[in-house]
Amino acid sequence: MSDDIHPAVLANMNSIKHAQAGNREEWLALYRDDAVVADPVGKSPFDPEGNGHVGKEAIAAFYDTVIGPANLTITPGKRTPSGEHFCAVPMTAENDMGNGVKTKVEMIAVYEVDDDGLIKSMKAYWDWSEMERQFKELGLA
């Protein structure tokens, strides 16, 4: 871990890097065993109960279902650290589904890390209904 970069900012940077590159094991290694990923926060087809994906096994399943199959380009905005363990990041995630078909999500992601820089929680705030609208527009729903 770099002493020059806030640990939650570094976690976000590494998460983006590994998600875009399809580095499953490296991405999962960023998370604590008891971490929570809520992407998006609240109920969605990814998380029907709206409780987030809790623990490495559930986070791995989320990766395999959502991130792994995607062809992502994630563009972060200004990363804003808060305290010793948090940062908030506006991000745009585009998924190139091939043949000129793309979806785009604007979100605010909030990362919490522990004292070792491992991610305790990642909460991505974005509107699932906007994704549904895009699916319908693209003829995918």
For residue 106, what pLDDT is reported? 97
For residue 4, what pLDDT is reported? 87
pLDDT tens sequence for the chain (141 residues): 446 899 999 999 999 999 999 999 999 999 999 999 999 999 999 899 999 999 999 999 999 999 999 899 999 999 999 999 999 999 999 998 888 889 999 999 999 999 999 999 999 999 999 999 998 998 887
Q: What CA–CA distance (Å, rounded) separates 89 from 77?
A: 6
Domain boundaries, the chain: 7-137
Rounded to two decimals, the pTM is 0.92
Q: How far is CA 69 from the centre of its chain?
A: 14
Pick the CATH number of 7-137 from 3.40.50.300, 1.10.1060.10, 3.10.450.50, 3.40.605.10: 3.10.450.50
Per DSSP bridges, beta strands 119-125 and 31-38 are parallel
Quick one: 19 exposed, middle or buried, by C-beta within 10 A (0-12, 13-18, 19+)? buried
Q: What CA–CA distance (Å, rounded) separates 121 from 52?
A: 9
Q: What CA–CA distance (Å, rounded) separates 123 from 109?
A: 6
For residue 3, what pLDDT is reported? 61
Q: What CA–CA distance (Å, rounded) separates 33 from 23?
A: 18
